[in-house]
Amino acid sequence: MSELVFEVTQEADGGLVAECLTESIFTQADNWEELRQNVREAVAAYYFDRTERPSALRLHLVRDEVLANG
């Protein structure tokens, strides 16, 4: 396993949520740096008893924007 991809969304309150696209791993944080650390910790906890672990973690920021039309 080479990489896990996390979809990152920003909540209305400004917090960030990261959800892995292939495993049941989910975490959240108040800022980007805290989210990075929380993702690392969540992945370590998920794989704590396995010998094979991902070599990279990709955080993919998803951003929605609503524009007024008119």
What's the confidence (pLDDT) of residue 65?
79
Which residue, chain included where needed, has tokens 């400004």?
14
Number of domains the chain is built from? 1
Q: Tell me, what CATH number does 8's domain have?
A: 3.30.2390
Which amino acid belongs to residue 62? V
What's the confidence (pLDDT) of residue 1?
65
What's the confidence (pLDDT) of residue 18?
98
Tens of pLDDT, residue by residue over 11-62, are: 988 899 999 999 999 999 999 999 999 999 999 999 999 989 999 999 999 9
pTM exceeds cut of 0.95: no
Tens of pLDDT, residue by residue over 6-25, are: 999 999 888 999 999 999 99
DSSP output for the chain: --EEEEEEEE-TTS-EEEEESSSS-EEEESSHHHHHHHHHHHHHHHTTT-S---SEEEEEEE--------
What residue numbers bound the domain in which 42 lies? 3-62
